[in-house]
């Protein structure tokens, strides 16, 4: 007797239950429903709409498990027919959420926000907790283009909803950590310190999530001129959870190599080489540029051609806040080298970029 096939309705129900478990932040149930869905898929006759639904929920699962932060390569993205998602509000939401998240991982932050704006048109079709996740991603997107007021607004909205759920403690902490980073970048160090400590003192953080907050705290310490503390937190972040061999780990290697070399620790050279090799895989403009700047400033003699190449890459990508900090770092190194006029020219450029960061998204 032939093997019976699963009905489309049964499969759609399983995918729906999987999605609901993700939104409810129930990791065990989400994994069980994922396994059930995959089992049903093997014996189901599906149309394009069901296939699209499955692919988009699978991508949402990767956001939920942080897989997209570990290895955001193109094969993690679903390839769907846009004409199908246009006729279904939930699919339309999930599709633009996916496109927005992938654009964010590629450092195309304006493109990412454009997709989120399209997803927002269908936000009424999803649950309150899913809206909270969406508000968090919007806040993160606005943070990356230095629109701190909008970022704070969306993070507050997300946090208010997450705080109503006993399962979403880690999402509340994620909001707090991002708010701490905003305070840090605005040089409100006392408030940032308070928020970061609140995050890191939470006892039940998953190791990988903890590693992300440790890295953010290291960035705060570096920004505050506390390089030895920054070194320690970057090192702890790298060796917490499985961060070392992930995309986030490659970013941390870039940060740690820079700090080690600024502290005169030659072990930073080997770590810099490792970070440079990682970026050949991940191909991120910001961290490729940062590695160039670190090499140009601290490995052998100062190589301003290499430094300027890295600085130009940051500016061309409209990463003005990051470029501002990099120009200030270059100016400080040149001042230490008693190249005062040259240091002044880099500091002037840093001041220009500090203003330019508020023009992101405005057509010139």
> What is the distance between the terminal CA atoms of the chain, rounded to a whole angstrom?
69
Would you place residue 362 in the very low, low, confident or very high pLDDT band (cuts 50, 70, 90)? low
Cα-based torsion angle of the residue sequence 283, 287, 288, 294 in order, rounded to the nearest 10 degrees: -160
Buried b (16+ CB within 10 A) or exposed e, 3-32: eeebeeeebbebbebbbbbbbbbeeeebee
Arithmetic mean of pLDDT, 347-360? 86
Q: Is the dihedral of CA 119, 122, 125, 128 positive or negative?
A: positive
* pLDDT digit string, tens, across residues 241-286: 999 999 999 999 999 999 999 999 999 999 999 999 999 999 999 9
**233 belongs to a structural domain:** no
Residue 1 has pLDDT above 80, yes or no: no
CATH number, domain with residue 156: 1.25.40
The answer to the question of residue 241 being in a domain is no
The percent of residues above 70 in pLDDT, for the chain, comes to 92
- Condensed to tens digits (0 to 9), the pLDDT of residues 287-338 reads 999 999 999 999 989 999 999 999 999 999 989 999 999 999 999 999 999 9
Q: What is the percent of the chain where pLDDT is above 90? A: 76
145 occurs within a structural domain: yes
Q: Confidence class of residue 9 from pLDDT cuts 50, 70 and 90?
A: confident
- Give the number of other CB atoms < 10 A from CB of residue 88: 16
| Residues whose CB falls within 8 Å of the CB of residue 93, separated by 6 or more in sequence, listed in order | 119, 122, 123, 125, 126
Same domain (yes/no): 69, 158 = no
- Looking at residue 76, what is its pLDDT? 53
SS3 track for 241-256: CCHHHCHHHHHHHHHH
**pLDDT tens-digit profile of 74-113?**
555 556 656 556 667 888 899 999 999 999 988 899 999 9
Q: Domain check: are 13 and 120 in the same one?
A: yes
Residue 205: band (very low, low, confident or very high) from pLDDT cuts 50, 70, 90: very high
Per-residue pLDDT at 68 exceeds 90: no
252 within a domain of the structure (yes/no)? no
Same domain for 182 and 196, yes or no, is yes
Domain assignment present for 50: yes
Q: How confident is the model at residue 2 (pLDDT cuts 50, 70, 90)?
A: very low
Both 119 and 135 in one domain: the answer is no
Q: Whole-angstrom Cα distance, residue 117 to residue 99?
A: 11
Residues 136 and 155: beta-carbon distance below 8 Å: yes
Q: Give the domain extent around 324.
A: 303-356
| Share in percent of the chain as helix, strand, coil (round to 5) | 75, 0, 25
């Amino acid at each position: 007797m032939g093997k019976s096939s699963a009905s489309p309705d049964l499969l759609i129900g399983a995918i729906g239950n999987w999605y609901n478990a993700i939104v409810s932040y129930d990791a065990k149930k989400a994994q069980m429903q994922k396994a059930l869905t995959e089992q049903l898929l093997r014996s189901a006759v599906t149309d394009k709409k069901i296939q699209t639904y499955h692919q988009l929920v699978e991508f949402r699962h990767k956001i939920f498990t942080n897989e997209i932060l570990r290895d955001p390569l193109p094969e993690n993205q679903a390839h769907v027919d846009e004409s199908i998602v246009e006729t279904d509000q939930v699919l339309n939401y999930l599709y633009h959420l996916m496109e927005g998240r992938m654009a964010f991982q590629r450092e195309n932050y304006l493109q990412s926000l454009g997709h989120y704006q399209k997803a927002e048109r269908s936000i009424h079709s999803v649950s309150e907790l899913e809206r909270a996740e969406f508000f968090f991603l919007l806040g993160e997107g606005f943070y990356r283009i230095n629109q701190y007021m909008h970022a704070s607004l969306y993070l507050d909205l997300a946090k208010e909803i997450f705080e109503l759920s006993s399962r979403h403690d880690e999402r509340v902490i994620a909001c707090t950590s991002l708010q701490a980073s905003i305070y840090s970048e605005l040089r409100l160090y006392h408030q940032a310190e308070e928020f970061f400590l609140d995050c890191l003192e939470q006892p039940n953080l998953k190791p990988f999530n903890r590693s992300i907050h440790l890295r953010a705290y290291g960035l705060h310490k570096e920004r505050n001129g506390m390089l030895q503390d920054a070194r320690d937190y970057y090192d702890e972040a790298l060796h917490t959870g499985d961060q070392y061999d992930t995309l986030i780990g490659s970013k941390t290697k870039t940060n740690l190599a820079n700090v080690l070399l600024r502290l005169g620790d030659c072990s930073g050279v080997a770590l810099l080489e490792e970070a440079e090799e990682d970026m050949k895989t991940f191909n991120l403009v910001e961290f490729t540029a940062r590695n160039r700047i670190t090499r140009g400033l601290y490995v052998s003699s100062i190589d301003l051609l290499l430094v300027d190449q890295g600085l130009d890459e940051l500016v061309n990508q409209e990463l003005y806040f990051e470029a501002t900090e990099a120009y200030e770092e270059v100016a400080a190194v040149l001042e230490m080298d008693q190249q005062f006029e040259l240091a002044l020219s880099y500091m002037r450029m840093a001041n220009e970029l500090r203003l330019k960061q508020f023009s992101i998204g405005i057509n010139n």
